[in-house]
């Protein structure tokens, strides 16, 4: 099974703040696994694939 990253770990890997990471979650701009699905709060965890997909989808190509 692949390691699940916390919001803080994912933010560090993307080079953004935890606040920005939470905004990406709430806005639906990044995929994640919710360990508390159906609960009042989101307990987001990320695979490396989630982060790679996010980067690929948001890449702006020159030219």
Query: What pLDDT was estimated at residue 56?
Result: 97
Residue entry with tokens 């699940």: 4
Other CB atoms within a 10 A radius of the CB of residue 48 amount to: 13
Mean per-residue pLDDT, 8-17: 98
Other CB atoms within a 10 A radius of the CB of residue 46 amount to: 24
Which contacts (CB < 8 Å, 24+ apart) does range 14-19 have? 14/51, 14/54, 14/55
pTM of the prediction?
A: 0.88
Query: Does pLDDT of 58 surpass 90?
Result: yes
């Amino acid at each position: 099974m692949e390691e699940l990253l916390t919001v803080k770990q994912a933010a560090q890997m993307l080079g953004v703040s935890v606040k920005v990471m939470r905004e990406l979650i709430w806005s639906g701009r990044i995929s994640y696994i919710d360990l508390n699905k159906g609960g009042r709060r989101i307990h987001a965890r990320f695979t490396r694939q989630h982060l790679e997909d996010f980067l690929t989808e948001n890449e702006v190509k020159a030219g």
